[in-house]
Structures are given as structure tokens and as C-alpha cells.
């Protein structure tokens, strides 16, 4: 019976609309996946109970006996108090001050580790994905917002209050348009999908023609990353102009991060980068490299994330495994 | 004879116009100082020989027998190859690829450590000055240019190619005016003394009145930080407008650094900050704090450097002492 998995951990990627649960073996292989929507659960306790049930489902699916599961990790879209395991704020879930670690440990009967979703995704790209073998990694995840994570001298960097990595809120065009948090000209306000939508809607209102009206339907405020990809394929001028400018700002953000932190590798992920691929990457890179000041640092690798939708879940599994190592 | 100093190190702060040499005791007290201009020595070897002679002068002055001196450290205005001790480029000295460590070790007969000047100043502020007791420190030195240094999780952070800390070349107003290195809208291009001079000269050319014409003399391009301080004291409107804008950009730079690195303390030093004091600090802070995204991180201490002109020399002495610890 040597086929019965042992030393298994659970990785949970909790997002605003869905949760992805994975059972992960000691070699970081995914033994089973379980996906569920999150919107139907209005109370944190209710959602965490449903997640615990999902973990049991995933165990059943993979024929993993419960005793083989050692710990669980979870990535959460918001800031965490690392010492207490309390989620301070998760706007997409409508949560504030939820003692997630405590509740989930009780529901699962397992030790639980939690961290910010983007940092967890950076951890998995660092240990299992595009950043393997490097000691200094800076990630940019470009989607509705822009998040980031830092690996410095071989370790995920948390900062003094577990608040490090807010690369979307570094200023690249001070005094520019507003981000969702009310700051003018931070990277998120210049280069997120929200920013791209805003600029396309504004140009269309001024009468600029765009193929997006046929692709995305009448409401341009609902443009998805896939719609932008299709418009670029059709060589839509407005989309090209707006997306290229956004990618250039990401390029400035990359150059700033390299000039400050001199990493070996920059990893770009998130919905916008996944949908627009090399087109977006090349625009970002054409602006980033000439803006890097030290000649050695200019050779930094600038690559796409490798783990896609699994990055958060696999990173959460790594957080789970790190509890076992440290205890 | 217990008064004879022992376990002494040498700190050398090499600048574009002068070199400051200090003999430093085991308690980091300065036993003697020796200052000399650097401009008269056109060849690196010549200057390094003169520096070695200066170290002997400083030893004589403090009655320190040569045998009591254990090591020397030097801060240099440019990027260093840490492994080889070669100065790659020091524009203010006209140096490129100078094997400083090798030459100075031969001239002094002592082990020598070298590092970038701003990083060395950050090290001394961290261990002996405003950053004492903190684990995460970001420094901004605002003068002719803008340099910076990072202490992350209790260690000076060097990056992958010893090129980390170029905070003056992070972009705060992408597409803005040029810095000396040809980049548009980096912090140095927006907030250094060079940037302030540029904006004052441009406004004066357009006919704006300014007391600086009386204070600094006819050539506004030669404005010094002290002239700016005097103009602010006289409540000169143009100076106030331009310096305040520069300080606001430093504030955006501080917010970016806090959002990315979540340090306990931000230290501001350099000629502009020393001359303009709290006026400059307060303008920087009034823009920085509201631009910090995490509520915990917003309480970061934002303070002036404490060591003034000694920061580089004392930091170089700490570099010297770190060789002894590591060997």
C-alpha cells in the first residue's frame, strides 16, 4: 500500500469570486483540486466552514486519508496580521478583522498558515516557478489592481508590519489619475486593467473609434483582459495606444524596482499579462531596460509567471509546509 | 600606559572635492580627523598614496601607534565590485575600473574594505545615528543628486550586483524632466538641488522675481543649499514654491519606499536637508503620510540624519570593523 499518499498539505487560494483548494504532495505535485464560488457565503464563518468541507472533498477525490494531511495554508486578498492570523481587511470579501487562522484551525483540526494572496503567489513562483534558483525576485501581478511581492536574499520579505510589496502603490506619475485607494498617479492608477478600461471609456466618449465596441459589447466599462487581447489581434488603434502606455508604466515600475532592489529576476503575472502575453511584456521591457541605471543590473531577467491559476494555491501549500519545518 | 588606544580602525570618506579621514576607536569614538582636498591629485594612484599619508598624519595626531590600527574602510562616490574591490566608475573623481582595495591595502599594509558612499553613510546612521535599534531603514540623501541606502531585516542590502539603493533613480513623474543620467522624471530629476536650481533659473528667465538674485549673486545656476535656506527665511515666493514642490516629490518617493518596503524608519540627509531642516522635512512629510497605503506602515518614523558630515567616515570605519569580524 505504498501508493497511499503521506505528508500531504493543503493549499487554499481564496479570491473575491472563487476559492481554489489543492492537496499537494511532498514533491509539490497537485494530488487533487477543488473549486467553488465564494459569493454565496455572506458570513466569514460560513465561508470558512464551506472551505473546510471543500478540503474534505478534495481529500476524498485524491484518496488521501485525513491522517496524511499535515497542515493547511491560505492566501487571502488583503493585509494580514502575521502574529495573530487575523485578516485585517479584505474588501473583495467584505471582511474586516476576521480571525481566519483560528477559525480554520478549529474547522480543519490542522495547523494553518495564512498570508497575503500576492505574496503567496510570489512564493510559489520563487520556489516552483519562473523564479527558481534565484535569490532576489520582484513580482508584478497586473489585473484589476496591481500587486507585487519581494524575495530578498533568498527570503520572502514581509516588512515591519507585514505590509511590504505594495508595488501597485508606488508612484510613477505623481499627481496623475486616481487609483481605487484615492492616490494620484500610483502604478495601479496608470497600468491596471481598471486604468486601461478608464482610458478606453474616456477616449470612446470623446468619439474615438474602437473595435472593442463590437468585441466587448456596448458597456466598455466591462472590458475583460481577453477582450483587450482580441482587440490587439484585430490591430485596434485605440486599444494599442492605451495598453502600450499602460505597459510602459509597468516598465517604469520595473526600472524603479531594479534601481532600488537590484534583483536577478522580475516576474510579471496576473490576468492582463496572461491574456496579452508577449505583446504586453515587450512593451514593458522596451521601456524598462533603458531606464535601469547600473549596467550590471540592466541584464535582469524580465519574464512571465509560470504557474498561472495554480500560483496562489501552490504558494499557500508552501506556507503550510513552512509551518511544519518551523515547528 | 593603558591610555594608548588599541583596536583602532580607519574610516575614509572620499568625495569629489575632499577626503575626510578618521581614526575610530572600538566604541566608535573619533580619535582624530584629517581632511584634505582631492582635486589636486589627477591619477588614482597618486590620490590613494596621499590618502595613505593622511592616515599616518591622523594616527600621529591622535598618538595612535600604527600597530594599534587593525583595518581601513572607504566610502566611494560610485558603484563598486564588492568581490574584487574595484571601483567601476566614479564620475566625480574621473575614475573607471580602479583597483582601490588592492592599491590601498598595499599602501597602508592593512586589510581594506570599500563600499559605495551613500550605502556607507546609511550603515552609520543605522548603527550609530538616527536608525539605531531599527531593523528596516530606508535613507534618502538629497544634494546635487539623490542617493539612498537600504537596511532590510537588520542587514545592509546590496542586491544581486551590489547596485541596490539607487532611490534617486526611481520614477516619480515618468516622462518628466531629465536627470544627469538621461532619465525622465526620476526622483533626482524632480527633487535634487540640481532640479531645484533648474526650476528657479527657468522661472527667473521667464521674469519671476526672486530674492536669490541678491543672495546668490547673478549666476542663479550656482545656487547653494545655504542660499535656498536664506531665501526661504526671507519668505521668497519663488524659492518656496520650487523647494516645496521638490520636497513633495521626496514625499512621494518616501511613500513609494514605504509601500514597497514597509520600514520602521525613513532617514533624510544630504546638503539640501541639512540646510533647509524642518521646513523641507515637513513639506516632504505632509505629502508622504497620506500616500502610504497600509495603516500600520503609515506610522513610519520620518526623521533627519544625525551624523552630518561624519556619516560617511564613521560608516567606512564600520566597514573596516566588519572585515575584522568576518575574518
pLDDT per residue over B36-69, tens digit each?
998 887 799 999 999 999 999 999 999 999 999 9
Interface test with A, best of B260, B290, B296 (most A CBs within 10 A): B260
In DSSP terms, A138 is beta-bridged to A150, A266
In this structure, the answer to whether residues B158 and B37 fall within a common structural domain is no
In this structure, the answer to whether residues B235 and B108 fall within a common structural domain is no
Q: Please, which pLDDT band fits residue A42 given cuts at 50, 70 and 90?
A: confident
| CB-CB under 8 Å, B264 with A293 | no
Q: Please, which pLDDT band fits residue B3 given cuts at 50, 70 and 90?
A: low
Please list every residue in chain A whose beta carbon sits closer than 8 Å to the beta carbon of residue B252: 171, 174
> What whole-number distance in Å separates Cα of residue A269 and Cα of residue A22?
20
Q: How many CB atoms lie within 10 A of CB A152?
A: 22
In this structure, the answer to whether residues A296 and A315 fall within a common structural domain is no
* Reported ipTM: 0.95
Residues in chain B: 327
In this structure, the answer to whether residues A184 and A85 fall within a common structural domain is no
If one compares A326 and A178, the residue with the highest pLDDT of the two is A178
Answer whether residue B239 is part of any domain.
yes
Decide: helix, strand or coil at residue A5.
coil
Answer whether residue B127 is part of any domain.
no
Domain ranges, residue B317: 8-122+310-326
In DSSP terms, A19 is beta-bridged to A14, A36
Q: Please, which pLDDT band fits residue B6 given cuts at 50, 70 and 90?
A: confident
Contact between residue A148 and residue A157 where contact means Cβ atoms under 8 Å apart: no
In this structure, the answer to whether residues B92 and B193 fall within a common structural domain is no
The predicted pLDDT at position B92 comes to 83
Q: Please, which pLDDT band fits residue B195 given cuts at 50, 70 and 90?
A: very high
Residue carrying C-alpha cell 516576474: A267
Nearest chain A CA: its distance from B269 CA (Å): 18
Nearest chain B CA: its distance from A133 CA (Å): 13
Answer whether residue A1 is part of any domain.
no
> What whole-number distance in Å separates Cα of residue B318 and Cα of residue B30?
12
Nearest by CB: B164 against A148, A155, A261: A261
The predicted pLDDT at position A1 comes to 45
Answer whether residue A64 is part of any domain.
yes
Kindly write down the DSSP assignment for every residue of B102-125, as one continuous string.
HHHHHHHTS-EEEEEHHHHHHHHH
In DSSP terms, A171 is beta-bridged to A186
| CB-CB under 8 Å, B294 with A163 | yes
Interface test with A, best of B96, B148, B152, B163 (most A CBs within 10 A): B163
The predicted pLDDT at position B327 comes to 61
| CB-CB under 8 Å, B262 with A160 | yes
The predicted pLDDT at position B262 comes to 98
Nearest chain B CA: its distance from A212 CA (Å): 28
Please list every residue in chain B whose beta carbon sits closer than 8 Å to the beta carbon of residue A253: 171
Please list every residue in chain A whose beta carbon sits closer than 8 Å to the beta carbon of residue B247: none
Q: Please, which pLDDT band fits residue B118 given cuts at 50, 70 and 90?
A: very high
The predicted pLDDT at position A64 comes to 95
pLDDT mean across residues, chain B = 94
Q: Please, which pLDDT band fits residue A176 given cuts at 50, 70 and 90?
A: very high
The predicted pLDDT at position B1 comes to 45
Answer whether residue A127 is part of any domain.
no
In this structure, the answer to whether residues B145 and B110 fall within a common structural domain is no
HEC secondary structure over B32-47: EEEEEECCCCCCHHHH
pLDDT digits (tens, 9 = 90+) for A218-259: 788 889 999 999 999 999 999 999 999 999 999 999 999 999
Q: What nine digits make up the cell of A149?
A: 511581492
Answer whether residue A3 is part of any domain.
no
Contact between residue B6 and residue B29 where contact means Cβ atoms under 8 Å apart: no
In this structure, the answer to whether residues A143 and A289 fall within a common structural domain is yes
- List CB contacts of B130: < 8 A, sequence separation 6 or more: B265, B267, B303, B304, B305, B306, B307
| CB-CB under 8 Å, A165 with B253 | no
> What whole-number distance in Å separates Cα of residue A170 and Cα of residue B152?
18
> What whole-number distance in Å separates Cα of residue B264 and Cα of residue B69?
35
Checking if the pLDDT of A5 tops 80, the result is: no
Which is it for strands B155-156 and A301-304: parallel, antiparallel or unpaired?
Answer: unpaired
If one compares B88 and A11, the residue with the highest pLDDT of the two is A11
Q: Please, which pLDDT band fits residue A126 given cuts at 50, 70 and 90?
A: very high
pLDDT digits (tens, 9 = 90+) for A46-96: 999 999 999 999 999 999 999 999 999 999 998 898 889 999 988 888 899
Number of H helices, E strands in chain B: 10, 13
Q: pTM to 2 decimals?
A: 0.95
The predicted pLDDT at position B193 comes to 95
> What percentage of chain B reaches a pLDDT higher than 90?
85
Checking if the pLDDT of A177 tops 80, the result is: yes
Answer whether residue B3 is part of any domain.
no
> What whole-number distance in Å separates Cα of residue A30 and Cα of residue A118?
20
CATH assignment at residue A319: 3.30.420.40
In chain A, how many domains are there?
2
In this structure, the answer to whether residues B170 and B287 fall within a common structural domain is yes
* Mean pLDDT, rounded, for B179-196: 94
Lowest mean pLDDT among A268-272, A313-317, B210-214: B210-214
| CB-CB under 8 Å, B264 with A171 | no
Contact between residue B314 and residue B128 where contact means Cβ atoms under 8 Å apart: yes
| CB-CB under 8 Å, A297 with B163 | yes
In this structure, the answer to whether residues A48 and A161 fall within a common structural domain is no
In this structure, the answer to whether residues A114 and A73 fall within a common structural domain is yes
Contact between residue A260 and residue B150 where contact means Cβ atoms under 8 Å apart: yes
Q: What nine digits make up the cell of B148?
A: 539612498
Which is it for strands A86-90 and A95-98: parallel, antiparallel or unpaired?
Answer: antiparallel
Answer whether residue A184 is part of any domain.
yes
* B201 closest CA partner among B185, B219, B189: B219
Which is it for strands A30-37 and A18-24: parallel, antiparallel or unpaired?
Answer: antiparallel
Contact between residue A90 and residue A78 where contact means Cβ atoms under 8 Å apart: yes
* Mean pLDDT, rounded, for A312-316: 98
In this structure, the answer to whether residues A104 and A196 fall within a common structural domain is no
Q: Please, which pLDDT band fits residue A217 given cuts at 50, 70 and 90?
A: confident
Helices A225-233 & A237-261 angle (0-180, nearest 10): 120
Nearest by CB: A169 against B249, B253, B259: B259
In this structure, the answer to whether residues B298 and B205 fall within a common structural domain is yes
Amino acid at each position: 500500500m505504498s501508493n497511499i499518499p503521506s505528508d500531504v498539505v493543503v493549499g487554499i487560494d481564496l479570491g473575491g469570486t472563487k476559492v481554489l483548494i489543492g492537496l499537494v504532495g511532498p514533491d509539490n505535485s497537485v494530488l487533487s483540486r477543488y473549486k467553488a464560488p465564494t459569493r454565496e457565503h455572506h458570513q466569514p464563518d460560513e465561508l470558512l466552514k464551506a472551505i473546510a468541507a471543500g478540503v474534505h472533498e478534495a481529500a476524498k477525490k485524491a484518496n488521501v486519508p485525513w491522517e496524511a494531511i499535515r497542515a493547511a495554508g491560505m492566501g487571502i486578498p488583503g493585509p494580514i496580521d502575521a502574529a495573530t492570523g487575523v485578516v485585517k481587511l479584505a474588501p473583495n470579501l467584505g471582511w474586516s478583522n476576521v480571525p481566519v487562522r483560528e477559525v480554520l484551525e478549529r474547522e480543519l483540526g490542522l495547523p494553518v498558515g495564512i498570508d497575503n494572496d500576492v505574496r503567496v503567489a510570489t512564493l510559489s513562483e520563487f520556489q516552483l516557478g519562473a523564479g527558481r534558483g534565484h535569490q532576489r525576485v520582484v513580482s508584478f501581478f497586473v489585473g484589476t489592481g496591481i500587486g507585487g511581492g519581494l524575495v530578498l536574499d533568498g527570503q520572502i520579505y514581509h516588512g515591519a508590519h507585514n505590509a511590504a510589496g505594495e508595488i501597485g502603490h508606488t508612484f510613477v506619475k505623481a499627481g496623475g489619475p486616481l487609483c481605487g485607494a484615492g492616490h494620484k498617479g500610483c502604478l495601479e492608477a496608470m497600468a491596471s486593467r481598471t486604468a486601461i478600461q478608464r482610458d478606453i471609456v474616456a477616449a470612446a466618449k470623446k468619439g474615438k473609434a474602437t473595435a472593442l465596441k463590437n468585441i466587448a459589447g456596448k458597456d466598455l466599462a466591462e472590458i475583460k483582459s481577453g477582450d483587450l487581447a482580441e482587440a490587439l489581434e484585430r490591430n485596434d488603434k485605440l486599444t494599442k495606444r492605451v495598453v502600450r502606455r499602460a505597459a510602459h508604466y509597468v516598465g517604469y515600475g520595473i526600472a524603479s524596482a531594479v534601481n532600488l532592489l537590484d534583483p536577478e529576476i522580475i516576474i510579471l503575472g496576473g490576468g492582463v499579462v496572461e491574456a496579452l502575453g508577449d505583446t504586453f511584456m515587450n512593451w514593458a521591457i522596451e521601456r524598462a531596460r533603458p531606464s535601469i541605471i547600473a549596467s550590471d543590473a540592466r541584464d535582469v531577467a524580465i519574464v512571465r509567471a509560470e504557474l498561472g491559476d495554480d500560483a496562489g494555491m501552490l504558494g499557500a501549500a508552501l506556507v503550510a509546509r513552512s509551518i511544519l519545518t518551523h515547528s
